[in-house]
Every structure is written in C-alpha cells, then in structure tokens.
C-alpha cells in the first residue's frame, strides 16, 4: 500500500469513528428515554398511590441516570366512566446535553406522557381501600 492509500484509509477510518461517536452520543439519551417510558408504563399499572408512584419513577430515573427532579413529575389520578377502573396519568420533562468533543453542543428535550389503568378491586385486595 502506498502513502496515498494509507492517508485515504486513515481519513475514512476517522470519518467512520466520528459517525460512530456521534451516533452513540445522540443515541444514548434516546435509549434512556425509551427505556424509562416502557418501565414507567409498567409501573403505572401496579396500582400504587401517588407518592409511591413518584418514588418508583424517581428511582428508575436515578438507575437510568436521567436528570429528572421530583418537581418535574406530575401525576393525575381519576376514575374511569365505568367506575371500576382508576386511570393514573404521569407527565415528566427533562433535558440532557450532548457534547461532541466541545465543538458542538445540543440540548435534547424529553417529554413523557403515559397513562395506566388498574382495577379498583385491586386496592381492596391489597388492603388500601379508602386511602
């Protein structure tokens, strides 16, 4: 391989590494968002009260290294029309900064809105009726 071929190879490798690093830098926050969203949906169906739900979501955010604060989680509980089902709705917002070698910085905004349902009889079965 001559010198020109080696330079060409190194340039192509540098470009590929740059694309890989950029993809990983931007992909990681989105992976955490989708993982948090899936787990939040599962937690919502557990029938937890608002304080326990908020605590579980905060612990999940800590585990995933998501910069979510307690005051950025909003929980709403309502009864469905048929009066046999509770609907829990959670909203959360946070942002993460992606830094590419100090040359380019981008703030990514994330917004979660998920809803879960559980039976009112579920509260009776675990002894939480009327709380």
User: Other C-beta atoms within 10 Å of 97: how many?
Assistant: 10
Three-state DSSP state, 97: strand
Determine the pLDDT at residue 1.
64
Q: What angle do CA 98, 103, 107 make, to 5 degrees?
A: 25
Q: What is the per-residue pLDDT for 122?
A: 52
In the prediction, which pLDDT does 116 show? 83
pTM here is 0.76
Return the structure tokens found at 96.
């993460």
Residue numbers in the chain where pLDDT is lower than 70: 1, 81-83, 120-131
Residue 3's pLDDT is 82
pLDDT at 77: 83
The rounded distance, in Å, linking the Cα atoms of 131 and 129 is 6
Q: Domain spans of the chain?
A: 3-125
CA distance 54 to 96: 20
What integer pLDDT is reported at residue 120 of this predicted model? Answer: 63
pLDDT for the residue 37: 95
Distance (Å, rounded) from C-alpha 11 to C-alpha 19? 12
């Amino acid at each position: 391989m001559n010198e020109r071929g080696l330079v060409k190879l190194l340039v192509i490798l540098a470009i590929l590494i740059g694309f890989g690093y950029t993809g990983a830098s931007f992909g990681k926050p989105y992976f955490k968002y989708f993982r948090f969203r899936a787990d939040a949906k599962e937690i919502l169906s557990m029938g937890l009260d608002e304080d326990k739900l908020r605590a579980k979501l905060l612990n999940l955010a800590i585990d995933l290294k998501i910069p979510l604060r307690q005051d950025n989680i909003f929980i709403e509980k309502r009864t469905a029309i048929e009066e046999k089902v509770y609907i829990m709705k959670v909203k959360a917002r946070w942002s993460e900064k992606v830094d590419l070698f100090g040359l380019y910085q981008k703030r990514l905004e994330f917004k979660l809105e998920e809803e879960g349902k559980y039976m009112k009889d579920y509260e009776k079965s675990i002894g939480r009726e009327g709380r």
